[in-house]
Structure 1
Amino acid sequence: MGIRNKLFLIFLGTFLVLILAASGFYYLSFVRSLDTYLDERQQSQVERLANHLGNLYQQQGSWQFLRDDPRRLKRLYWLAGDREEGKDERGDHRRLQLLDAHKRVLFGPPAPEKYRIDVPIQDNSRIVGYLTYPDQEAIRDKLDRRFIGRQLRFALWMLCVGLALSLLVSWLLARHLVAPILALSRHTRELQEGNYDSRLASDRRDELGTLTRQVDQLAERLDQGQQARQRWFSDIAHELRTPVAILQGELEALCDGIRPLNQESLKGLESEVAQLTHLINDLHDLALADGGNLRYQFRLEDLSSLIEDVLDSYQSSFAQRGITCKTNLPDQALIQQDPVRLRQLLDNLFQNSLKYTADGGELSVSLSKQEDNTWQLTVDDSAPGVSDDALPKLFDHLYRVESSRNRRTGGSGLGLAICQRIVQAHGGVLHAEHSPLGGVRIHISLPGHAL
């Protein structure tokens, strides 16, 4: 059974229970209210008749005047509401009875005491007789029963109308609630078939609207992921094709005798193999980082000392290029870190500066503690810089700036992407901006050690 039919049956059952309960309550409340009203009306009429008979008794001194003129009693009964002609279903000629002070029947048929109500007739303060009338069920006449029957038929008609409205409203509600679910089902089927560019436009502000927008966001992410994978595979193929093509060309030249097989030729081949190995290793590290499988061993160590050690290993390389290195490091900066991965991060940053900074340039490295107990590492290098459009793309896979910072220096285009994964694994944030020295500034924020 589909969800639409289930919702329809649930709504219909709920409405029917409510309608039946309301109809039953209305009918019972009406019958009880009608009985109470008739009882109060009858009692009021009988009490007025009892007062009138008391005044007549006081004037006549006995009940003989009624025996002499029975029509007078009939008119009095008529005023009290006993207007039914003939005998009722019990064989009684009248509903009302007139009793003397000793409760002997003067007029009217006898009635069981448990079914009658006695109203005293008083002459001043002396009781001279009683008027009795049966309970409401016994004195209910045909007009009362017809009125109750009409109300019962009205309640049944209302029940039928309520049933029809329940069917209509239940169907509309089930259709309204299931419509976005069916749309989501069709949309997810399209996503399952690989059609990631389809979207659902929804203005709903309920949970279904939120779910629709979340599915649209999921479709957008899937679309972006598919495009990223396509670019990723294309870029990997391109990056691997270049050194392989160079190796193939060099080997063919050696085999054809175009180039002599000597130490210089072997060095060229070795350089291309090293470049290819470096690219493959970077791809492996990045794949592990993206999959969350790059292992980390955190321990409390000094970040400032680690930066100094890595910079010392690059001093000779910077000196050969005439690059001046300035540092502003504190005596100690304790953080929870994996020294191996942070050294890999610093190597990538300093290698980028070494490769892409013009000869005679400048490198500045500073580390400072912020008010929120984070350590901010800033690496600035001098010209050449990058354009505004290129800054947010520096951490993309295999991205290179089409300027003097290009492939001729041997970069794989994966170093900064790996740096970003390492910083994220340490709970930090990494971003790039223009450097006041003319090149690129790399900002790294890492959480400090809580004392």
Structure 2
Amino acid sequence: MNNIWVRLTLAFTSVALVAVGSVGLLVNRAVRGQFNLYVSRGGRVRAAMVAPLFANYYIRNGSWRGVERLMARWKGLGMKCMGGGRMIEWTGERLILVDEGGKLMADSEGEATGRILPPDVVAEGAPILVGGRRVGTLLVVSGRGGLEGKFLDRVNRSLIWAGLTAGGLAILLGSLLSWWIASPLRQLRRAAVAIARGELERRVKVGGDGEVGELGRAFNEMAEALQRNEELRRNMLADVAHELRTPLSVIRGDLEAILDGVYRADLQHISSIYEETLLLQRLVEDLRELSLAEAGQLPLEMEELDIGELVQGVVETVRATAQARGVSLEVEVEQPIPVLGDPHRLRQVLLNLLNNSLQYTPSGGEVKLRTWQKDGRAMVEVRDTGLGIPPEHLPHIFERFYR
């Protein structure tokens, strides 16, 4: 029952069966009501055709005494009887005679006489008039064994068969529709399981612009992001391993040389090993800060400072590197611009930008750093004459591990 296809099939089938059942009941009720009205009117007409026979009986006898014998003869006449000078085809209807007070005088079904029928029932019959006076009422009632009853039985059977057929079609169509709706979801589930196993290249086929199509596109975008992040992570691990390998190799080589007696354990060689440990410490600290930044826990020591003064200090830090590379380094600060920030982190960001610019700007090029104020904000721009970043890489430059 946890299968969405089964649940959708049951839901569609339930709705369809309720709809078919409701329509069947409404149709049955409407047909029965209209047919009963038709039968009632037809019974009144047939009763009016037979009423003259009973009026003649009343005229001959002056009362309804002994009318049961006439009723018995009438029932025994069969399918066709004379009434009002015409042949009447009798189909098993029940004939009831009541006097002017509604008292039951005779019944073709042999029901006990003497009881009073309700006025609304008497009103459905044809009056029996003698000398302009109403002496009784004749009612023709359709029995379940008559043509009317057989007609209703056939209508009910037809409605039942139509309901069963519609219900079967509803189950079939609901099952097919549920399978079609659940198909992309099954594909998504299989793709999600594959990605959980490490198959990050797995994608789903997207069709349509509806909610399911949007879900498929979002899934593919998520899978692409996971695959890209995994590639970046592997590249980053390779870079970290490479960066760590160099100082470790130097430390190991110097220590082995000291142990083998190649180097003396003097201040010069120990200082070299110490410098490499400091490099290792900076690499480890950079990794720690990266993890804190990704977790949103990187501490910031905010204070008021002049961004122009900070920029001047950073430029002086890398000026020697720029001169060694043959790159012109210029700075333009319009005015003192006070800001609230962490000077250490701001300095770190500016150093990264300037070092990247110096690294990718050829000799004879220019790197320019400019600050200005706009709409109450401090603006900092680093511009160089290097190769630049290819357009296809621009959307990814702020992604982690991307190079």
Under a length normalisation based on structure 2, what TM-score does the superposition of the two structures give? Answer: 0.72
Equivalent in 329, 342, 365 of residue 346 of structure 2: 342
Q: Distance in 1 between matches of 2:258 and 2:139?
A: 131
Q: For residue 25 of structure 1, what is the amino acid of its counterpart?
A: L
**8 A Cα contact 1:96 1:108, kept in partner:** yes
SS at match of 2:84: helix
Relative to 1, partners in 2 of residues 1:365 and 1:48: Cα closer, same or farther, differing over 3 Å?
farther
Alignment of 1:291-310 (within 5 A): 291-298=295-302, 301=304, 305-310=306-311
1:92-144 CA distances to partner (integer Å, 9 max, x unpaired)? xx5577x78x9999999888442423555789xx9433662326456x77111
Aligned to 1:285, which of 286, 289, 292?
289
Alignment of 1:11-410 (within 5 A): 11-43=12-44, 74-76=82-84, 83-84=89-90, 94=95, 112-114=116-118, 115-117=121-123, 119=126, 127-129=132-134, 132-134=137-139, 136=141, 142-256=146-260, 258=262, 265-298=269-302, 301=304, 305-312=306-313, 314-315=315-316, 318=319, 323-332=328-337, 334=339, 337-352=341-356, 362-370=366-374, 375-381=378-384, 383-386=385-388, 388=390, 392=394
Task: Report deviation, 1:31.
Answer: 1.2
**Aligned residues with identical type, % of pairs:** 23
Q: Is the 8 A contact 2:233 2:401 kept in 1?
A: no
Whichever residue aligns with residue 34 of structure 1, its letter is F
Q: Aligned-pair distance for 1:259?
A: 5.5
User: Following the alignment from structure 1 to structure 2, what is the Cα–Cα distance between the partners of residues 198 and 223?
Assistant: 10
Residue pair 2:97, 2:104 contacting (<8 A) in 1 also:
no
1-structure distance, mates of 2:84, 2:15: 54
- Residue segments in structure 2 that go unaligned for 5+ positions in a row: 64-69, 75-80
> 8 Å contact 1:325–1:363 — kept in the other structure?
yes
How far, CA to CA, are the matches of 2:309 and 2:330 in structure 1? Answer: 11
After superposition, give the CA deviation of every residue in 1:164-185 in whole Å (9 maximum; x if it has no partner): 2233233323333333333222
Superposition RMSD in Å: 4.5
Q: Find the counterpart in structure 2 of residue 2 from structure 1.
A: 2
More displaced stretch, 316-325 vs 247-256: 316-325
Q: Greater shift after overlay, 251-260 or 23-32?
A: 251-260
Q: Which moved more, 1:168-177 or 1:266-275?
A: 266-275
Asked if the contact 1:19/1:159 (under 8 Å) is kept, the reply is yes
Output the CA distance in 1 between the equivalents of 2:368 and 2:135: 120
Cα offset, 1:208, TM superposition: 3.1
Distance 1:47 1:292, change over 3 A: same
In 2, Cα distance between equivalents of 1:254 and 1:397: 41
Q: How many Å separate the matches in 2 of 1:210 and 1:292?
A: 30
Q: 1:374 to 1:165 in 2, by over 3 A?
A: farther
Amino acid in the other structure paired with 1:76: G
1:23 partner SS: helix
Distance (Å, rounded) in 2 between the aligned partners of 1:399 and 1:249:
32
Q: Return closer, same or farther for 1:220/1:133 CA change in 2, 3 Å cut-off.
A: farther
* Shift in alpha-carbon separation, 1:384–1:172, aligned structure 2, 3 A: closer
Aligned residue identity for 1:377: V
SS of corresponding position for 1:31: helix
Deviations 1:254-276 (A, max 9, x none): 55555566655455444433433
Amino acid at match of 1:128: R
> How much has 1:197 moved relative to structure 2?
1.4
TM-score by length of 1: 0.65
Q: Report deviation, 1:313.
A: 5.9
SS at match of 1:202: coil
What per-residue deviation string (whole Å, max 9, x for no partner) do you get for residues 344-386 of structure 1? 2233334555677678865433234456x654321224x5544
Give me the whole-angstrom Cα distance separating, in 1, the residues matched to 2:140 and 2:344.
101
Q: How many residues align?
A: 370
Inter-partner Cα distance in structure 1 for 2:224 and 2:267: 54
User: What is residue 440 of structure 1 aligned with on the other side?
Assistant: none
Residue identity opposite 1:84 in structure 2: W
CA distance in 1, matches of 2:150, 2:370: 100
Q: CA deviation at 1:232?
A: 1.7
The runs of 5 or more residues in structure 1 that have no matched partner are 401-451
The alpha carbon displacement at 1:29 in A equals: 1.8
Counterpart AA for 1:5: V
Q: CA deviation at 1:310?
A: 4.3
